[in-house]
Amino acid sequence: MSASELAGKFVEKALEKGFSDAAISIDIVERVMVKFANTQPSVVQEWKTAVANIYLSKGRRVFTGTFQLDKIGDADKLLGEVGLLIDRLSESELYAPLPEPGVRSGFYSRVDDKIVEAMKDPSELVELVLEASSREHNIDFTAGKIDLWKRMRHLATSTGAQLVEESTGVETYMRSFKEDGSGQWGFASRILDKRGIEEVALKASELAYESRGRSSVEPGVYDVILSPLVFSQLMNVIAWMSTGLSVLTGMSIFIDKKIGDQVASPLLSIYDAPRDDKLPFSTVFDDEAVATFDKPIVEKGLLKNILHNTKTALKFNTKSTGNAGWVHPRPWNLVIEGGGFKLEELISEVKRGLLITNNWYTRLQNYAEGVFSTIGRDAIFLIESGRIVKPVERLRIADKLPRLLSNIEGLSRETYDVMWWEVRVPTRSPYALIRNINITKHFA
Amino acid sequence: MEDLLEKAIAEASSKGAKYVEARYHRNTYFTLRARNGNLIDSAEEIAEGISVRVLVDGALGFASTNRLDSESVLETARRAVETARSLSRFMKKPLELGPGRVGHVSYSVSVKKSFDSVPIDEKISLFNELWRRSREAVKEASVKVMFNEYEESAEEKIIMTSEGAYVRSFIPRVYLGYNMVIAHPQKGVVQRWQEHGGSGGYELVESWRLPDVVSSEAGVLERALLEGKTPPSDPLDVIVGSEIVGLIAHESAGHPSEADRILGREAAQAGLSFIKKGMKGFRIGNENATVVDDPTIPGSYGFFLYDDEGVAARPKYLYREGVVYEHLHNRFTAAEYNTESNGSARAMNYASEPIVRMSNTYVTPGDYSLEELIEDVKLGVYIKSYMEWNIDDERWSQRYVGLEAYLIENGEIKGFVRNPVLEITTKAFYSSIVAKSRDLRFYTGTCGKGEPSQGVPVWFGGPDVKLSKVKLGLAPG
């Protein structure tokens, strides 16, 4: 039985057994990842998995599950077990019936055969990044990964959807080291863009080279220019805060905001972009078979959309935005609109500030007020009188997200498709100039 | 299942692997989530499969499948060998396997009160009780939101290697986390995310007495929100509560002591370490700075007796009386250090390679009571709990923002301080400890590391400690 047939049969049987809603997404994934350390592969990992994610409800009670396919094959047994469980649950306060599908049937393909080919033997890509890492600068060592995947997703719902989507993707990031300097860059795409992959290695090594000889700088209030890696990471936080469930569970700065409220500088527009096929998490339909569409989360500084599935949408008295997750809505890809500046022009706007090229470990004191800090890592440069003057040691941004969003004063024209360990939603991002940001470092 | 693993080992060996490790790994999870006392959903996950890791011509290959038929497992073994071999030409320094005392053993964690013996409505009613008790405890402000996640899980593994290791284990665990947002129209918001976890059965949930804990915390945090004042800005004595001390042990002793991190294997992800190879014996603090990692603590969330390379686990002194003492090793890092593995390799699930991990990491306790730590402080701050924290990617500069925190004047608690910031280097922290309480307490977390990122259950713990002459900052208002 094909995966689609298996999915269809499962939904049929679920309805026969008295479940009011049923959906199943069978994900068949092939994935190859080469991880690098000390300028050589540290491990090559391969996965071949087939997993079924199921959604069942009955009497407004909600169950989700993740199982192997053989468990789905014995649907009577599984549905019997879930039936016994679900009868003992209480009603879900978020229950909503599955919606009429926006996309009812079809086979959607976003496959790049070159990625499939590279998965068989990634050594050419390995050679490319290792060579490019030391092409222009004699670095000490480099690390990173090349991650290639092909995914086949079969979705069937009790509302009549029977859909298949196949897709490929690549994510690469590299971090290079030279003396006390280091630099990191990342990239992701639906297709095997060798130029994009190569540039990751070149850029990481250039930043490592340029950030040698770091000196300390005093904490205080600075204008900062955040690289696409840093800005993407913070906008990932914002995007997750913009999901309906995050708002409902107190994990959001939008907890008391209304659609149309000013939440950022008029320069900022962030879009959830499931139909942008250059970014690797694009999709035609969500887990409820609602047709996805690109939409602003924030547009010209105004809150435009909370991201919803049907459940959270009902709670907010609105419609799904095509972002299901059966329980937790999610952003697909993010696109942050670029501005009118070249990077050099952004730098020239800064009297005394910092160019921060990478960060990690963003944590919040409280989500409702957006009190947070994050640590700069890799290359950070001091800017004085519109010019980069020297690399500096690690610093921490410690401020409030609403203030950071409001103080955006310039965005670069050029944008970059970014993904790495700390940026898990693929994001197209410019450089961002933000005024008056609190910078801290350890006291002792 | 053992015969499948044996076949995988034989297949990979016949294809030229110098070392083969095959692991059957089954994780089951049952989760309930609630908002404001009402159930959102229930979820079940079974992650079951086999992984094969091989050393071929100095290169490491890993492959996994969740198809448990013989041909899929053999193909997995072949793929691991082929990909490792294809990349071996890039190995400037071929990987080697160090020694480790591998076991031939079965063990399991026993449960006093099985999850099945507790009616599900009793588990669900706990959410409502937590929500009710928190709201009753808050008078002037309000509990805006409470979110709960309850998870019971079981981890079953069989690990076999080409060198004869055989380790079969079964570890049930339980977890409960809550997020509580307390708001006041003029004073703003205070938020608490707290987790409880351990290995065992439902008896652990009962032992946590969560309704009382949540009620007490809600009342105290309301007062911290309403009454909290700015902390003094001059250097002063700081009592760091065991919850934060435990986190510090994890972040600034455990992580930098991971030998794979020291050797650069995580350089592009979680980073490097301020500890470099050859720094054993480096002075990191005073005689009070002793940190242990111990996976063998019964009932702990990070419990195991053999690691995922089949090597016997044991307690390790990471820092001992102020010096860097022993790192966390798997067999590959042990080879680099010319030592033997101390059993620190863990994999999250069948789809994950075993990498060097912590288990239960803690600062050893001292001789004082908390009251004795406080009684001779003229001016100080006691920071009992935290929300925001982070540390740099070499594990040197770290920041912890206090949640429940108090001013101390002349040996007495004198009201709340709001959002004090301890921003300090690893060396400064471990060098500033002048006294430790005798109360060793543990806290629950999920530690992230690796690529793809693996979250593994851990405890972190410690006593309350007194730091001398430390400067505090203030979180942005």
pLDDT band at B323 (very low <50, low <70, confident <90, very high): very high
pLDDT score, position B432: 97
Residue among B40, B191, B390 whose CB faces A250 most closely: B191
Contacts of A220 in chain B (CB under 8 A): none
What would the pLDDT profile of A112-141 be if each residue is shown by its tens digit? 999 999 999 999 999 999 999 999 999 999
Residue among B43, B46, B264 whose CB faces A38 most closely: B264
Angstrom CA distances, B259 to B201, B336, B395, stand at 33, 9, 13
pLDDT score, position B351: 97
pLDDT score, position A411: 98
Gap from A162 CA to chain B (nearest CA, Å)? 23
Residue among B401, B453, B471 whose CB faces A365 most closely: B401
What's the token pair of residue B238? 């700081």
pLDDT band at A299 (very low <50, low <70, confident <90, very high): very high
- Record: contact A91-B268, CB cut-off 8 A: no
What would the pLDDT profile of B241-297 be if each residue is shown by its tens digit? 999 999 999 999 999 999 999 999 999 999 999 999 999 999 999 999 999 999 999
* Average pLDDT of the residues in B452-457: 97
- Record: contact B119-A90, CB cut-off 8 A: no
pLDDT at B202 > cutoff 90: yes
Residue among A85, A371, A394 whose CB faces B476 most closely: A371
What would the pLDDT profile of B356-380 be if each residue is shown by its tens digit? 999 999 999 999 999 999 999 999 9
Note the ipTM here: 0.96
Q: % helix / strand / coil in chain B, to the nearest 5? A: 25, 40, 35
Angle between helices B2-14 and B70-87 (to 10 degrees): 30
Gap from A358 CA to chain B (nearest CA, Å)? 11
* Average pLDDT of the residues in B119-145: 97
pLDDT at A80 > cutoff 90: yes
pLDDT at A48 > cutoff 90: yes
* Average pLDDT of the residues in A164-181: 98
pLDDT at B477 > cutoff 90: no
Gap from B346 CA to chain A (nearest CA, Å)? 16
pLDDT at B301 > cutoff 90: yes
pLDDT score, position B162: 97
Contacts of B86 in chain A (CB under 8 A): 44, 121, 123
pLDDT band at B83 (very low <50, low <70, confident <90, very high): very high
- Of the residues B248, B390, B426, B472, the best mutation for testing chain A's interface (the one with the most A CB atoms within 10 Å of its CB) is B390
| Residue of chain A whose alpha carbon sits nearest to that of B454 | A421
Contacts of A419 in chain B (CB under 8 A): none
Mean residue pLDDT across chain A: 97
Gap from A414 CA to chain B (nearest CA, Å)? 25
pLDDT at B400 > cutoff 90: yes
- Express as a percent the part of chain A with pLDDT over 70: 100
From the options 3.60.21.10, 3.30.2290.10, 3.30.465.10, 3.30.420.110, give the CATH code of B2-227.
3.30.2290.10
Domains and CATH numbers, chain A: 3-210 (3.30.2290.10), 220-440 (no CATH)
- Record: contact A372-B388, CB cut-off 8 A: yes
pLDDT score, position A73: 87
pLDDT score, position A444: 84
What would the pLDDT profile of A409-433 be if each residue is shown by its tens digit? 999 999 999 999 999 999 999 999 9
Mean residue pLDDT across chain B: 97
Q: What are the residue boundaries of the structural domains of chain B, listed by start?
A: 2-227, 236-474
- Of the residues B29, B39, B221, the best mutation for testing chain A's interface (the one with the most A CB atoms within 10 Å of its CB) is B39
pLDDT score, position B217: 97
Query: What is the pairing mode between strands B236-240 and B379-383?
Result: parallel
- Of the residues A176, A361, A378, A394, the best mutation for testing chain B's interface (the one with the most B CB atoms within 10 Å of its CB) is A361
Contacts of A249 in chain B (CB under 8 A): 35, 145, 147, 179
Residue among A90, A375, A421 whose CB faces B124 most closely: A90
What's the token pair of residue B384? 């009992």
* Average pLDDT of the residues in B423-433: 98
Contacts of B473 in chain A (CB under 8 A): 440, 443
pLDDT at B125 > cutoff 90: yes
The C-alpha atoms of residue A306 and residue A296 are separated, in whole angstroms, by 9
Region of residue B271 (left: phi > 0; alpha: psi -120 to 50; beta: else): left
Across the A:B interface, residue pairs with CB atoms under 8 Å apart total: 273
Residues whose CB is less than 8 angstroms from the CB of residue B295 and which lie 6 or more positions away in sequence, other chains included: B302, B303, B304, B305, B307, B313, B314, B315, B343, B359, B360
pLDDT at A1 > cutoff 90: no
